[in-house]
Amino acid sequence: MIWWVLIPLLWFLTFRYRRRRMYELASRVPGVSELPLIGAAHKFMGNTEDIMSTLKELSYFAIENGGLMKAWLGPILYFLSVDPADLEVVMRTCMEKDDLHRFTRPVIGFGAIFAPVSIWRPRRKILQPAFKPKIVESFVPVFAEQSMKLARKLGEAGGRKIKLRPYISSYTLDSTGETTLGVKIDSQDDSVSPFLVELGRVTRVLAERIFRLWLHPEWLFRCSPQYRQQRTSCEVLHGFTDHVIMKKREELKAEQKSPNANRTIDLSDYDSKSFLELLIHFSGSEGGYSDEELREEILTLIIGSTDSTASTIGYALDLLAKYPHVQDKVHAELDEVFGDSDRLLQKEDLMRLKYLDCVIKETLRLFPPAPFLIRKVEEEVTLPSGNVLPAGSGIAASVWGTQRNPKYWGPDAAAFDPDRFLPERAALRHPCAFMAFSTGPRNCIGYQYALMSIKSALSSVLRFHCVRGRVEGGNKPHIRVKIDVMMKAVNGHELTLEKRMNRGAQQQDL
């Protein structure tokens, strides 16, 4: 009978002994109060708003304790950092994504964002030329057309208070679908677009699984209603994407059989190439990416771009409603660029909207769509701060906390101030103090694409509308947020849009 006690005890002691270096290094870093066996896991109970509140509290705890804190989730050790100097080293040396990202694989497979380094490296080389500035700029007409449709749809609300998130998500899906797949999804004309509905459902499932420890074991997850929802959503998302890929393959084969076919892609003809077609060619055409690999990369682009871009547009409109004086400056700049015309936006206009650019970056600073980036520590890492991360642990880069760290952003770090991004002020901070698009070799490859889409949408909406909401009494904006893979507003950005009446005597209705 004693063996039933001795065997588990010996296993536990051996387990502890092998990890003695981890325990030693962890003891040097401050941490929050924990419970036996489960550590700080109990702090992640509740809904996704509660979980985000906990993550914010941990970020502020790290700010108050030198920039780094630790927390045990059961036997797994995680560190959370808000120090740009430390994170510059982490994001450059800890390249492997954390094991939590395995939960995204049934949806996007080994798409480059979350793929292991061995898969990410070759795929990044193929993706890189597809995001050259000249190619990305060729998508501006799509952004312009779809953003003008967004402005019309919002105008049809007739000055009522509405949740902007569904409208914005439809815009981002339509613009992303057209530029990525080369097809018109037309979700702005279909409030129950199956692709958009299932996209929202599956991201909620992913968020629940990441933060619900009991959903981590595969066998338990397969017994849950979340698994059934994930399977249904994946059937829709995969089925649609696979169909588009098949049709594109057939089109390209037909072109190759044409006697006048050009055997190589003509990159001077940018405006006829979607990301899908570019990836087929850059990967080696028929000998390159398989249909499954294409689906993984395309779905990763669609999901990442649709959610993150929509969130930023929504937060920006929310902030402009809270601070009318900032909105007035945006309107003045838009009037200077567009006058009272109703013409579509052009790529040259984007360069002239400098203050709007500051507003977007300040929005991304305060409300980054991806507020936490998690990496594996495979080998011991000594940080500039002097702290040492032990092998076998995980490190969370708190983008939320880093971008609100008073050490780098001043005592008013939580205040909304677009002037922070004026050239003369931007040069004063650490380059990694702003990392809304990540940093290091695995940074967001599509950040220029995202910024163009965001700026196009905001300029089109604000040219014709004033956004109204609760005016903030102080300079620290309060927006309730939740973590739903991306960070989203709890109320879906519930605001009112009023038609601008002072654009000029020749103003025409949209």
The answer to the question of residue 22 being in a domain is: no
- Structure tokens belonging to residue 277: 């077609």
193 domain-assigned = yes
Judge whether residue 356 has pLDDT over 80.
Answer: yes
Helices (H) and strands (E) in the chain, counts: 21, 11
CB 88 within 8 A of CB 67: no
Could you give the count of Cα atoms lying within 13 Å of 139 in the half-sphere of its Cβ?
A: 32
Q: Quote the tokens at residue 275.
A: 């990301």
Residues with Cβ within 8 Å of 469's Cβ and at least 6 positions away in sequence, in order, are: 318, 321, 322, 494, 495, 496
| Bridge partners, 17 (sequence order) | none
Residue type, 472: E
Cα–Cα nearest to 68, from 359, 405, 346: 405
Indicate whether 323 belongs to any domain. yes
Name which of 92-101, 108-117, 281-290, 349-358 the model is least confident about.
281-290
Give the count of alpha carbons within 13 A of 325, CB side only. Answer: 8
One-letter amino acid for residue 36 of the chain: P
Q: How many CB atoms lie within 10 A of CB 290?
A: 10
pLDDT tens, residue by residue, 150-183: 999 999 887 789 999 999 999 999 999 899 988 8
- Using N-to-C axis directions, what is the helix angle for 447-464 and 140-155, rounded to 10°? 40
**346/348 Cα distance (integer angstroms):** 5
Per-residue pLDDT, 434 = 95
Quick check: is 16 in a domain?
no
For residue 200, pLDDT over 90 is answered with no
User: Please, where are the H alpha helices in 367-417?
Assistant: 399-402, 406-409
User: For 440-489, how does the pLDDT look when each residue is reduced to its tens digit (9 = 90+)?
Assistant: 999 988 899 999 999 999 999 999 999 999 998 888 999 999 988 889 99
Closest CA to 147 of 433, 381, 454, 430: 454
In the prediction, which pLDDT does 505 show?
38
Contacts of 262 (CB under 8 A, 6+ apart): none
Range list of β-strands (E), 302-371: none
C-beta separation of 409 from 431 below 8 A: no
Around Cβ 347, how many Cβ atoms within 10 Å? Answer: 16
Task: Give the span between the Cα atoms of 510 and 501, in whole angstroms.
Answer: 13
Is the Cα dihedral 216, 222, 223, 227 positive or negative? positive
Length of the chain: 510
Per-residue pLDDT band for 418 (boundaries 50, 70, 90) equals very high
Label residue 428 exposed, middle or buried (CB < 10 Å: 0-12, 13-18, 19+): exposed
Which range marks the domain in which residue 132 is found? 28-64+74-499
Q: How many angstroms separate the CA atoms of 171 and 176, rounded?
A: 8
| DSSP 8-state assignment for residue 405 | -
What is the domain-level CATH number for residue 281? 1.10.630.10
Per-residue confidence at 285, pLDDT binned at 50, 70, 90? low
Instruction: State the maximum Cα–Cα separation within the chain, in Å, rounded to a whole number.
Output: 93
- DSSP 8-state assignment for residue 36: T
> Does pLDDT of 123 surpass 50?
yes
Q: Which of 176, 183, 177, 186 is nearest to 149 (CA)?
A: 186
Find the radius of gyration of the CA atoms of the chain: 24
- What is the rounded CA–CA span in Å between residue 319 and residue 323? 6
506 has pLDDT over 50: no
pTM: 0.92
Inside any domain, residue 504: no
Stretch 303-313: mean pLDDT: 90
The tally of domains found in the chain comes to 1
Q: What is the pLDDT averaged over residues 352-380? A: 95
**DSSP 8-state class, residue 31:** B
What's the burial of 178, exposed, middle or buried (CB within 10 Å: 0-12/13-18/19+)? buried
Distance CA 342, CA 509 (A): 9
Region 60-69: mean pLDDT is 96
Q: Which two tokens stand for residue 379?
A: 């080998």
Question: Does residue 5 fall inside a structural domain?
Answer: no
Residue 9 has pLDDT above 80, yes or no: no
Q: Which amino acid is at 383?
A: L
Q: Tell me whether residue 8 is in a domain.
A: no
What the block records as the tokens of 30 is 């401050």
Of the given ranges (228-232, 236-240, 261-265, 333-337), which has the lowest mean pLDDT? 261-265
Please list the residues that pair with 484 across neighbouring strands: 486
> What end-to-end distance do the CA atoms of the chain give, in Å?
82
Q: Is residue 13 part of a domain?
A: no
161-163 and 494-499 strand pairing: antiparallel
**Residues 375, 378, 380: CA angle, nearest 5 degrees:** 105
The span from the CA of 167 to the CA of 122, in Å, is 36
